[in-house]
Amino acid sequence: MKIAVLGAESTGKTGLTRALAAHFEAAGRSVTLVPEVLREWCEANARVPVAGEQPAIAQEQARRANAATGDVLITDTSPLMIAVYSDMLFNDPCLYDMALAHQSGYDATLLTGIDLPWVADGLRDGPHAQEPVDKLVRAALARAGIDYKVIYGSGQERLRNALLAIDATLTPRQQKRTDPTWSCDNCSDPGCEHRLFTGLLQSKAAGRPGS
């Protein structure tokens, strides 16, 4: 099972991937957790990469995921996030083809919602960058026809919502029952989307169809 967690800066990707890994390990599954290569690069070089350095970072993110072994692969971002940053910061869309081809190999793609408080760490652009990044990720996934689920909540609630989303993606019967408003392709308003998301989860928890 291959799970990719995507999302804008400071949306809880790392915390969610670690919580998912702990959950599956507690269930007796062997898990490979691939960290965010871009963050490693920024911390090692004490700066953000320039345009010409982006492809190598994307390729390394893909290489680590492709080399993973075990029952469950969980990645803290994927090359698609590098493609989005290249597009937004450098007006360079050249990484999308490679990134989306790689993304299509995942069984579940989770997009973290922009509902958590902003946490500054000296490397992130700022909360103003969250919505543009979120929109670019959604648009890229939609162009490629890649199904994704948006995850909201904090702590255990966020983990629980992610597990429900994974189950809905991997279980054919639940997938057929998934309401098309689970993720809003044309709207990244967290308040609007969160209400839809919560209603769907409540319906699923009660054993009723989501539509």
Q: What is the pLDDT of residues 24-63, one digit of tens each?
A: 999 999 999 999 999 999 999 999 999 999 999 999 999 9
Q: What is the pLDDT of residues 81-101, one digit of tens each?
A: 999 999 999 999 999 999 999
In a domain, 193, yes or no: no
What's 11's domain CATH number?
3.40.50.300
In a domain, 74, yes or no: yes
Q: How high is the pLDDT of residue 137? A: 97
Q: How high is the pLDDT of residue 80? A: 98
The pair phi, psi for residue 72, each rounded to 5°, is -130, 130
Q: How much of the chain exceeds pLDDT 70, in percent?
A: 77
Domain that holds residue 77: 2-177
The pair phi, psi for residue 129, each rounded to 5°, is -85, -15
Specify the number of domains making up the chain: 1
Task: Give the CA diameter of the chain.
Answer: 51
Q: What number is the average pLDDT over the span 139-145?
A: 97
- Any idea how long the chain is? 211
* Spatial distance between the Cα atoms of 76 and 97, rounded to a whole number of angstroms: 20
| pLDDT > 90? residue 120 | no
pTM of the shown model: 0.80
